[in-house]
Amino acid sequence: MRIALYAFDGITMFHLAAPLMVFGEVTRLGLAPDWETRVWSDRAGSIRTEEGFPVGDIAGPDTVDWADIVIVTSWPESLPHIGKDLSAALRDAHSRGAEIAGLCLGSFAVADTGLLAGRPAVTHWTKMTELRERNSHAGVDESVLYIDHGDVMTSAGTASSIDSCLHIVRKHLGSAAATRVARSLVVAPHRDGGQAQYIERPVTEASGGTAIADVLSWAFERLDEPLPIERLAEHARMSRRSFIRQFHLETGSTPARWVLEKRLNEAKSLLETTDRSVENIASLCGFGSAVTLRQNFRSAFAVTPTAYRRQFAVGCATTSIVDRQR
């Protein structure tokens, strides 16, 4: 297996080191001694990383002709459109049967080539909107760490490049090999959930001084209570129909969606900062039962509340809005 890693001036050391570590470990463990990895760029010579370190002995574009897998390891933060030469090189490699992958922001380069052609992609969650515009014919999937279409793969941000490279090992050498590499690197062979759990989901608020803004403030202090539309409309002194219409005008959302997102955000906060049980958190956030919380949480963040807590718990000293109001 011959793997070509594309690099450029300004790439971060981690984005380049992650695939080198994973694929290098395959060889070091003797799992596939004939695997070889080369780093290349638009011209042979050297590059300088974002951290200011020079990296020498960089191969030139002809490395693409040698490779079975071509990986764009990252892409500049400014998200420039791919150049004609690099695009042609990736497309030519794909045409002769090489696999193409874009890790993190490298997904933008792959999308620019047209190789995704009607297929969804993924990138770092902070750049989803931009990728959706670049890959408008197929869009993006916010809930996953990587998407492999067989011939073309894209991955989510930063550390998920490790997940993606382990997937390549699993795909070509099997699960046992990928597990050995992961164990050696002290990382999870396969992470639960997806990057949806990392995405910040701000809830749109109405501007102050309106009946809707007053309802939002009032409802936020009562997330643990039933909050049907009728109760919200009654507090706003509006008919149900008028309330729904005005609510959408001021927030861009529906009352039910707003309440659900507030409850989910509060549940995340409680999972991160307290040792309350899932059942108790479900009650405090207005879900009624742990089952309902788990269903809504997994649907929104692609992970269970318990798994989320394992990853993000920071201690139990901080109180939430629900605690403060009592």
pLDDT digits (tens, 9 = 90+) for 34-71: 999 999 999 999 999 999 999 999 999 999 999 999 99
Q: Where are the beta strands (DSSP E) in the chain?
A: 2-6, 36-40, 45-48, 54-58, 69-72, 99-102, 146-148, 152-155
Asked which of 1-5, 56-60, 185-189 is least confident by mean pLDDT, the reply is: 185-189
pLDDT tens digits along 198-230: 777 666 677 667 999 999 999 999 999 999 999
Average pLDDT, the chain: 91
Q: What is the pLDDT of residue 319?
A: 39
Q: Residues 6 or more apart from 233 whose CB is under 8 A from it?
A: 239, 240, 242, 243, 244
d(CA 163, CA 179): 11
Task: Give me the pLDDT at residue 192, please.
Answer: 66
Q: Could you tell me the two tokens for 73?
A: 């390891």
Phi, psi values for residue 133, rounded to 5° = -70, -40
Higher pLDDT, 148 or 319: 148
What predicted TM-score, i.e. pTM, was given to this entire model?
A: 0.74
The sign of the CA dihedral 236, 238, 244, 250 is negative
Highest mean pLDDT among 61-75, 133-147, 172-186, 308-322: 61-75
